[in-house]
Structure 1
């Protein structure tokens, strides 16, 4: 029996991002605002000592230094409003001529959070507005319109400011891009995990169909024989009941093996995995219900990959089950052709004729065969013969073929 498919490695619950971005995006909504407020007030107060030409901090200046961090509380629920508010506060602060310093911290954090949240246009607009006001107050507006004289900055020094802004935006964009890639990777891993789970459920459904379909067909035939001979030939009826008991026990054992995979890979199988090594069991079971099976092998038998070995076994099992259900034949032939080193040819021939009427079954046996064979690149043909019989012919790749 094929082992359960391995599960993908444990996934991270959330995409990675720098600590300051995580703090800005989620958690500490008030704590971060307090930290930034202390940074802006203390840092700007220290920087003001070296800027005597700027307007000294007054009540309005300190209020602006505190309003910006306070707006960061909205950064998660209203990122656009946080960008707009911090940008407006920064613009008022610059126009008022207060000292330069870490007043830009709250604005930068709000822009980075907006980029992370997908509102890139808001972040870019906020950056452009603040930088435009900076250019106006530095190079365009007359000095008598300003509360503080323009900074002695030449045009080439503006490259430093532009580089700083581009660096901030680039870091935010890189973090956003990395987060999107990680999120896409996690989504892919989740889809892969779900697909593998679906494939495992389909594999188990096919296994259970083949096991129960084959076993119940034999049980149905033997039960009919037992009922018919119960009064006239009790010894043969006893043999039919013994066959039912043995078939039921074997079927229960295989069902336990299939369902045991739900407990995980550590669940040890209780019996040998189905394969061509158990072909004699199939012929014996068929013989109990009056179907004589002849096995013909051409070439030297060799080892098969577990999946191919199981598939070959299930094909023979399903084909013989269909003979019991749908054919009046009391003979069938199984041919195993090993002459091709790259493939194994499995052929089951039912000489017919077919049984008229509904013989039971779900009608998905041939579809299950095709799914099994197609899963690893094999081919299968199934169809009626001119004499009224039926033939199943499958070509299964071997280890040599898989290695090419």
Structure 2
């Protein structure tokens, strides 16, 4: 409740009206009734934020009663200005206009037609020229209130837009982190799962091969933990430079080796003239190949995959194929799974595309086109 500002306004209006009364001896002296009307109008302003419409009409009525009682004009009209401002900034401009119009018309009636029947005795009709500053005052109140109301609406809209942008950035960051964690963990856990199966199967018959599988599990888990720590470190300290560079296609041999340890043979081929990729494009390409190979390990009956990197001016095309059979591909390979959804999000963030589906001759293909701007060499 804005009681401090209302109290200050009430004191100013009462004291100022007292001075105005002494300066206008032809009007009624400010007595108890006049002070009561002044305080009533000011007291109504305590509710101007909760009930702006009744307040603006109530203040206008109290002010009109004050004028009709023949008291001197003065700062009493400030209460009307505050009431109109509160109504407009709360979205009730028509109520403010109506209250001001009622006050102005009432003032016209009192000053030009009803004055013989109202105090003070012997009062004469008001000069029509006096209505010009009154009208100007009304227009000024409306204009100032509208201006402030519009500015407040603009500020509220800007705050809402900033809040929406911050929420959007937070959502995008959560999605990015979830995508990174999915890609890291899905690939590493798939390798670990395959190697654990091999180790269990060969534990008694071929301990040396089982040891090799356990070594591969340790290597895959160590790399996964390192990447998870990097992602979580970026989450805990947003805005700081990462301690380790983001993975790119320079780490493709590591993916091939991990796939080989899971029993998958990967053939790689490069077409066109390789060029350095921006970090974002390199990371997206690495994760797309990683997820595609993970899907082959987890869902395909094939033990062979082919990765083609086709460089063209301003774009990189990735093709990851396996022999299938396509009927063995698990549900979600049609694009409804989280992995392929993450691929599409990565490609879309760069303005690229992803196509994934069964090949006409059997098997499965993931094809990604990633546009990029070549890195400038110093």
TM exceeds 0.5? Answer: yes
**Deviation of residue 294 (structure 1)?**
1.8
Q: Taking CA–CA contacts closer than 8 Å with sequence separation of 6 or more, which of the two structures ends up with the larger relative contact order?
A: 1
- Indicate the residue corresponding to 2:215 in structure 1: 242
Change (3 A) 1:360 1:298: closer
User: Secondary structure of the residue that 1:374 maps to in structure 2?
Assistant: helix
- 1:373 aligned to 334, 344, 347, which one? 347
Does 1:347 pair with 2:309? Answer: no
Change (3 A) 1:236 1:244: same
User: Secondary structure of the residue that 2:23 maps to in structure 1?
Assistant: coil
Distance 2:331 2:354 in 1: 23
- Indicate the residue corresponding to 1:363 in structure 2: 337
Q: Contact between 1:217 and 1:325, CA under 8 Å: does it hold in 2?
A: yes
Structure 1 portions without partners, runs of 5+: 1-25
Distance 1:214 1:145 in 2: 92
TM-score, normalised by the number of residues in structure 1: 0.86
Distance 1:318 1:206 in 2: 11
Distance 2:345 2:155 in 1: 34
TM alignment of 1:273-352, pairs within 5 A? 273-338=246-311, 340-352=312-324
Q: Contact between 2:84 and 2:141, CA under 8 Å: does it hold in 1?
A: no
Does 1:387 pair with 2:358? Answer: no
TM-score, normalised by the number of residues in structure 2: 0.91
User: Secondary structure of the residue that 1:49 maps to in structure 2?
Assistant: helix
Distance 2:229 2:174 in 1: 15
- 2:206 aligned to 233, 245, 263, which one? 233
**Deviation of residue 260 (structure 1)?**
1.8
Change (3 A) 1:147 1:360: closer
Task: Give aligned pairs, total.
Answer: 372
Change (3 A) 1:32 1:327: closer
User: Secondary structure of the residue that 2:263 maps to in structure 1?
Assistant: coil
- Indicate the residue corresponding to 2:73 in structure 1: 100
* C-alpha RMSD of the superposition: 2.3
Distance 1:235 1:345 in 2: 41
Q: Contact between 1:337 and 1:344, CA under 8 Å: does it hold in 2?
A: yes
Distance 2:217 2:205 in 1: 19
Q: Contact between 1:218 and 1:247, CA under 8 Å: does it hold in 2?
A: yes
**Deviation of residue 146 (structure 1)?**
4.4
**Deviation of residue 226 (structure 1)?**
0.8
Q: Contact between 1:326 and 1:355, CA under 8 Å: does it hold in 2?
A: no
